[in-house]
Amino acid sequence: MPSPLRVTVWNEYHHEKHNPEVAKHYPQGIHQVIRDGLLANDLPHVRTATLGEPEHGLSEAVLDETDVLLWWGHRRHDDVDDAIVSRVQARVLAGMGLVVLHSGHYSKIFKRLMGTACTLNWRHDGEKERLWVVAPQHPIAEGIDRYFEIEREEMYGEPFDIPTPDELIFLAWFKGGEVFRAGCTFSRGRGRIFYFQPGHETFPTYHHPMVRKVIANGVRWAAPTLTTREVPANVQRKALEPIG
């Protein structure tokens, strides 16, 4: 029987302490509400980690017990230590799942794994977003109807400077006139990455049941398979056939 999936939700935890509008929706931090959403979707093993903790809460010991890491950052991407970014990258390449949320598109770890600028167009006036399922058969779309709506969200618009995703799961329609590849998957090394666009801090997005369902689906999808394998390495090998 597979062991239970162990999840860590990382948050820079800045806006919630400095902006009352944000604190209203996320009084204990965005990470706690994301955690609540996972618990509500039958993922009981969820811890949290934040920027201000030693090693940003992402010690080797914590990562040893993390199957899937979620990442929310926005204002303080630059304050994340490069050594911790390298540590997380190495874990992903060795098989840890990673779910990158909203403004995490511009985090060091996402840019590191993509290799691109990860830029996009944006507007945080708060407008209706409608998320369309492009890949109805994909486990990340499990339990989602043809589309769902978020009453007020930040607009993220194309072009989104990412490598071509392996799979495109959701496309977003914004009332103001833009579109966005809002749910995308990537494989890097042995690890699986899911990017999901909704989640501006001034809106109650992470309380939305469909957003919560998609994130839980993404966590399950990104979970490493049971296989234990050597991590990627340059290895010298003897010939298997005569080469003389």
CA nearest to 5, candidates 60, 69, 59: 69
Number of shown-chain residues binding a second copy (CB under 8 A): 75
Taking residues 143 to 172 in sequence order and writing x for each that binds a second copy by CB under 8 A, - otherwise, the string is x--x--------x-xxxxx-xx-xxx--xx
- Select from 16-24, 33-41, 70-78, 113-121 the region that touches a second copy (CB under 8 A): 113-121
* 3 counts as binding a second copy under rule CB under 8 A: no
Q: How far is the CB of 33 from a second copy (least distance, A)?
A: 25
Q: Residue 30: CB partners within 8 Å, gap ≥ 6?
A: 11, 13, 15, 16, 72, 199, 201, 206
* 87 counts as binding a second copy under rule CB under 8 A: no
- 58 vs 169 by CB, closer to a second copy: 169
Cα–Cα distance for residue pair 72/22, rounded to 1 Å: 14
* 224 counts as binding a second copy under rule CB under 8 A: yes
- 52 vs 177 by CB, closer to a second copy: 177
* 134 counts as binding a second copy under rule CB under 8 A: yes
List 14, 181, 200, 208, residue binding a second copy (CB under 8 A): 181
> Among residue numbers 14 through 53, which ones bind a second copy (CB under 8 A)?
none
Cα–Cα distance for residue pair 190/95, rounded to 1 Å: 4
- 43 vs 133 by CB, closer to a second copy: 133
Cα–Cα distance for residue pair 103/122, rounded to 1 Å: 10
- Select from 2-10, 53-61, 140-148, 208-216 the region that touches a second copy (CB under 8 A): 140-148
Q: Residue 33: CB partners within 8 Å, gap ≥ 6?
A: 25, 26, 206, 207
Cα–Cα distance for residue pair 217/214, rounded to 1 Å: 5
Cα–Cα distance for residue pair 162/93, rounded to 1 Å: 18
- Select from 39-47, 59-67, 114-122, 204-212 the region that touches a second copy (CB under 8 A): 114-122
